Amino acid sequence: MKVGIIGATGYTGEELLKCLARHGGVEVAFVSSEQRAGVSLKEVFPHLPAYADLTLCTTEESTRIDVDLVFTCLPAGESVKWGKRFLDKGSKLIDLGSDFRFRSADMYTKWYHIEHPHPELLPDAVYGLTEWHRDDIAHATIVGNPGCYPTSVLLPLLPFVAAGLVADAPIIIDAKSGVSGAGKKATDVTHYVSVNENVTPYKTGRTHRHVGEMEKELRAVGGKQTIVFTPHLVPLTRGMLSTIYVQLAEEKSRDDLFEVLANTYSAEPFVHILTDRMPDMRVAQNSNLCFISLQKVAEANCLILCSAIDNLGKGASTQAVQNMNVMLGFAETAGLL
């Protein structure tokens, strides 16, 4: 099988290349970049000798190369423009950005403040949270890979919402991300001097665009709750930790609550439930794993869920490879364990 990567020089593109080098079942037929087109990939990523023969092409040039599946690793609004060119040629598409995470163009515009360039494609797009949409992903031509924060929140939260155990009250989420979550272009906020020895909350409450994506998935399993979300940048390169405060709709024992997670995830290779320790970022870094812990606070009839992932792993590129495996009929764990 042949795949291509549009936006290969970014953080998620680099992680895709690392993961696909271990995969064995796919050939990377092209890698694209606008700024570095014409440059050999071994100059950009000397630590990835598997691709020493590849040279970066422009995105326009990439559309002349036939692949079975293309990964788009671009800013909002860009992926769909290029992705459509490949869909028209019969390729499958996994977008690591946000252009195919909503089936409603209005919702996309509400959270991303731009018009969707091709709303006619949205009904065919499947949300790529693999553990929850595996069957649809297997038959999809377009997969909208989830955002990193939504992955870290939805994996622990959805089992309880789907089981009807969560009160119709706001769900409070406090999350921390390594700085690679913001992409490779430094800004005043992500500059080393701003981040080093510092922790900063940003886009608090309901202003972060991932809130819409999380609520959309809650609605899909019958949840009506409102999300109140505070992300923080922490001085780490990669990793993501989310703490989720959930008001329970009914009295449940700690064992019953653990059983909800176990029933959902015991057969899942990448989701691990921790019963006697808390997750931390280090255990999830450089992996496709999600670690989840649960604490019941009896006095408040409340549940605290903590989850750890790698924002570039399960939060982006390795989850994209997991989805590619499902779409192309490989073993789901190929290249990932």
Ligand X SMILES: NC(=O)c1ccc[n+]([C@@H]2O[C@H](COP(=O)([O-])OP(=O)(O)OC[C@H]3O[C@@H](n4cnc5c(N)ncnc54)[C@H](OP(=O)(O)O)[C@@H]3O)[C@@H](O)[C@H]2O)c1
Residues that bind ligand X (CB under 6 A): 7-13, 33-36, 59, 73-75, 78, 96-98, 147-148, 180-181, 183-185, 311-312, 315-316
Reply yes or no on whether 148 is catalytic.
yes
Q: Measured in whole angstroms, how far is the alpha carbon of residue 311 from the centre of its chain?
A: 7
SS (H, E, C) the chain: CEEEEECCCCHHHHHHHHHHHHHCCCEEEEEECCCCCCCEHHHHCCCCHHHCCCECECHHHHCCCCCCEEEECCCCCHHHHHHHHHHHCCCEEEECCCCCCCCCHHHHHHHHCCCCCCHHHHHHEEECCHHHHHHHHHCCCEEECCCHHHHHHHHHHHHHHHCCCECCCCEEEEEEECHHHHCCCCCCCCCHHHHCCCCEECCCECCCCHHHHHHHHHHHCCCCCCEEEEEEECCCCCCEEEEEEEEECCCCCHHHHHHHHHHHHCCCCCEEEECCCCCCHHHHCCCCCEEEEEEEEHHHCEEEEEEEECCCHHHHHHHHHHHHHHHHCCCCCCCCC
- Least separation in angstroms between CB 176 and ligand X: 13
Positive or negative, the Cα torsion across 143, 145, 150, 155? positive
- Least separation in angstroms between CB 129 and ligand X: 12
Nearer to ligand X, 82 or 265 (CB): 82
Nearer to ligand X, 238 or 296 (CB): 238
Nearer to ligand X, 36 or 134 (CB): 36
Catalytic residue among 19, 57, 148, 306: 148
Nearer to ligand X, 6 or 292 (CB): 6
Nearer to ligand X, 264 or 317 (CB): 317
Nearer to ligand X, 32 or 293 (CB): 32
- Least separation in angstroms between CB 311 and ligand X: 4
Spell out the residues 6+ positions from residue 160 whose beta carbon is closer than 8 angstroms to its own: 166, 246, 257, 260, 303, 305
- Least separation in angstroms between CB 222 and ligand X: 26
Return the residue nearest ligand X (CB atom): 10
Nearer to ligand X, 273 or 316 (CB): 316
- Least separation in angstroms between CB 141 and ligand X: 20
Separation of first and last alpha carbons in the chain: 20
Positive or negative, the Cα torsion across 82, 87, 89, 91? positive
- Least separation in angstroms between CB 36 and ligand X: 5
- Least separation in angstroms between CB 15 and ligand X: 8
Residues annotated as catalytic (active site), given as ranges: 148
